[in-house]
Chains A and B, each alone.
Chain A
């Protein structure tokens, strides 16, 4: 009985902790977005997220529209982790107009699409003390 209770407690702590880290990663992504909201960017409620090992990039396909300007904001709850997000067009050419990284918890990229269509968002944990690092990616447009 004692073992079952201990296991249940450990499991619930693990689940709470995992949930909290995803939420924290998103809160850092949204924190990164804040200054741009004042510049007229609308931040989407939907977002991407998960956990990744170091130096194993993940690709996300996303539809972007010519005539809009987009910012993609990536966040993590791990302060010492280094992140990056970059945007490529359907042919694999680098499409972003600017990007920044090397700020604790955050990285971002801006794109002004030259054509409407599919784009690849490449997210990566460049450095982290953890085996897998929670991340989240939000975006906004104007």
Chain B
């Protein structure tokens, strides 16, 4: 179980000791700086002193707010492992070796397949990891970015033989980053976003399957991901008309607002909401994997 901390919020510990920084010399008046900054210079200003204990996040100019990095499934699965012992074999789905023809769907499927790789690692299924590694390469080839992942997929297969799960996790994360980078270099940044979206949908389907089977508030809280939903909603809204017209993308775009409502914390994410999120994500992943 997760250890619950006290509700009191302790002052952050400034660790000037090794392994890293030299001891900082703090001026006696350092405490005044954040106060003065907050009063006169705006919501975020704390150079030279201790960080302010609070900032006005509502006043952050939109232009300074950078994009989220979409979490890898392991970030969530690791917490589920701490909460209990999920049966990852039940969650793992055999990979299909056929590739759908259309590029947007291939990109979505590539993301979902990489997410499946993380599930196979949780289940410690070395043979399945190898199959997924090969499928990642095959899907990458279908959209012309296979060169970017050849070494990653070789490492995945090699590490699966050694059952080196940590290396496999790192390589799946790296494969996801590399294919997206390659797409950006090919002026296909929007396709790269679909890889992230496909991965998130499959990861969320898996998360809701585990939480739905053995509901706990801590497990359900993992579904509270407003920044991620905002991010995907923005990206899907901003897709070019050609991608937006793709039937699979269209279907996902239609369901995203519904998912956004369900993950809001008002009253927590109830078992009913978990079930609903599972049903939506499962349906979307099925569509991504379909040959129609």
Contacts and interface: CB of A to CB of B under 8 A. Distances in A.
Interface of A: 32, 35, 42, 44-48, 50, 55, 57-63, 65-68, 84, 86, 88, 90-94, 96-103, 106, 108-109, 112, 114-118, 120, 122, 124, 126-127, 139, 141-142
A93 B53 contact: yes
- CB-CB nearest 7 A-B residue pairs: A67-B79, A103-B21, A118-B227, A98-B13, A60-B66, A92-B57, A86-B51
Contacts, number: 163
A116 B69 contact: no
Given A57-B44, A94-B52, A99 B226 contact: no
Nearest to B71: A63
Given A61-B227, A65-B79, 9 more contacts: A44-B69, A61-B67, A65-B76, A65-B222, A67-B78, A92-B58, A97-B12, A106-B21, A139-B69
B28 interface: no
The secondary-structure label for the interface of chain A is strand
B221 A55 contact: no
Nearest to B41: A55
A112 B166 CA distance: 22
Contacts of A108: 20
Given A48-B69, A126-B47, A62 B227 contact: yes
B44 A59 contact: yes
Interface string B143-171: 00000000000000000000000100110
Contacts of A57: 44-46, 64
Contact of A141 (B2, B46, B78): B78
B254 interface: no
